[in-house]
Amino acid sequence: MYVNIRRAEIPSLRFQRAAAIPSFHGMTTFLDLLRSPRTPLYLAPQAGVSESPFRRLCRRFGADVVVSEFVSAAGIVMGTRRSRDYLRFDEAERPIGIQIFGADPAQMADAAALVSDVYGPDFVDINFGCPVKKVVKRNGGSGCLRDLDLVERIIRAVKAATPVPTTVKIRSGFDEATRDPVGIALRCQDAGAAVLCLHPRTRADMYSGQARWDEIAAVVDVLDIPVIGNGDIRTGADAARMRDETGCAAVMIARGSHGDPWIFAQARAALDGKPVPPTPDTEERFEICLEHARNAIAFERDPSRAIIDFRKHLGWYTKGLPGGRRLRTELFQATTLQDVERLLEGYLDEQRSAAPA
C-alpha cells in the first residue's frame, strides 16, 4: 500500500500542494485536456525515473497527464517480468499513457494491442526520441528518425492495433543533416498520430545546448493535431514562457522534475497567472523525499533493491544543499530506509545546531 503523508501529520509543512486529482469540469479524456483553454502539464517518460511512485507524487503536485517509462516492444511481446513491472500503474494515475519503443512495425502493433487489452492505458505513445546508444543501435527511439518511411509504418501499425489514441514523441532529427522537425511532424500526423510531442534537439545533440523552442512553434503552426512542447523546463516560469512563445497545447517536464516534483505546482501557478509557490525548505523537501522512498519500497518486490535504485533520487533531492556532497556520499551507501531516515535527520540536526540563534 502506498504511504501518503497528510498535512495534519506534519505541522511544519507550508508548501501548498495541488489537489490530488485535478478537476477538469467533466472532461473525460486527455484529448479533452489538450483542446481546453487550460494548458495541461505532462510528466515525461523517463527510464528509471517515471516509475509509478514518482508518477503519483507528480500527479499530487499538479501533473495533469503522466507517461510510463519507455518499454521495449520485444519485452512486452515476450512477456518478460521486467516489462510487466514497467507496465503497472494505479487508477489514481489516470490519465496515463504507456510508451513503447521498437523498430519492427508488426512487433510494435502486437505490443500495443497487448498493452491496450491487458493494462488499459488512456493512450499508447511511441518513442521516436530516446537518444541512448543501446536503444538507438537497435534502431529504436530516435534511431528510427533515420528512416521516416519506417516511422510512418510503425505509427500506422500501432494505430490499427489499438482502440486508444496513438501519440508520438520525436526529436527534431537524428543529426543536424537530417534536422527537419516540421517534415517529421507532418509525416507522423499523416500516418495517424493523434498527438505529437517535440523535444527540439537532435539525437546527436543528446541533452547539450539549448532546446530550440522556435521549432516547437513552427510545428504548432503546421499541424492540425495538438502539439506538446518539451525541453529545458527547469522552473515554473519556463512552462509559462514555453506556452506563450510556442503556442503549444501542453508542456512536458522531464529533467526539471528530478528531485523537484513541486515544479508542477509552480508551473501550474505560472501558467494560470497566479503567485508561484516558494520552493520547499530543507525539512519539507526531506519529508517529500521520504514519502517518495516509502512508496518506492512498497511498490517494488525487493525492498533492498528498491532502496539501491532510489539512490539517484536521493542525489537529486539533496542537490544544492550546504554540505550536500558529504550527505550524498553517505546516502549512496545506505541499504535500508532506516539508514536514509537516520542520515537525513542527522543532517537536519546539524543544520539546526549551526543556525544562528
Per-residue pLDDT tens digits for 240-285 = 999 999 999 999 999 999 999 999 999 999 999 999 999 999 999 9
Query: What confidence tens digit (pLDDT) does each residue in 186-224 have?
Result: 999 999 999 999 999 998 888 888 999 999 999 999 999
Place 130 in a pLDDT band, splitting at 50, 70 and 90: confident
What single DSSP character describes residue 16?
Answer: -
DSSP 189-221: HHHT-SEEEEEEEETTTTT-S---HHHHHHHHH
**48 pLDDT above the threshold of 90:** no
pLDDT of 9 strictly over 80: no
Which pLDDT value is given to residue 357? 57
pLDDT-wise least confident of 124-138, 182-196, 270-284, 295-309: 124-138
- Cα of first residue to Cα of last residue in the chain, in angstroms, is 42
Q: What residue has cell string 530516435?
A: 142
Distance separating alpha carbons of residues 112 and 108, to the nearest angstrom: 6
Assess whether pLDDT exceeds 60 at residue 15: no
> In angstroms, rounded to a whole number, what is the distance separating the alpha carbons of residues 87 and 66?
13
To which residue does cell 551507501 refer?
Answer: 333
Per the DSSP assignment, residues forming a β-bridge with 173 are: 202
**Range from 10-19, 53-62, 92-101 carrying the lowest mean pLDDT:** 10-19
- Cβ neighbors of 104 (< 8 A, separation 6 or more) are 73, 74
Query: Does the CA dihedral 180-217-39-210 come out positive or negative?
Result: positive
Beta bridge partners of 166: 124
Tabulate helix, strand, coil % of the chain (nearest 5).
50, 10, 40
Query: Residue 143 gets which letter from DSSP?
Result: G
Q: Which residues are paired to 126 by β-bridges?
A: 100, 168
Tell me which residues are annotated as active site.
Answer: 130
Given a cut of 70, whether residue 137 has pLDDT beyond it is no
* Average pLDDT of the segment spanning 118-144: 84
- Selected from 3.20.20.70, 3.40.50.300, 3.40.50.1100, 3.40.50.10800, the CATH number assigned to the domain covering 22-271 reads 3.20.20.70
- 26 or 171: which carries more pLDDT confidence? 171
Q: At what angle do helices 324-331 and 337-354 cross, to 10 degrees?
A: 160
pLDDT at residue 356 above 80? no
* Comparison of pLDDT for 325 and 130, the residue scoring more: 325
Cell of 155: 505509427
Q: What is the pLDDT of residue 140?
A: 74
What distances in angstroms separate CA 182 from CA 42, 176, 209, 229, one per listed residue?
Answer: 22, 14, 20, 14
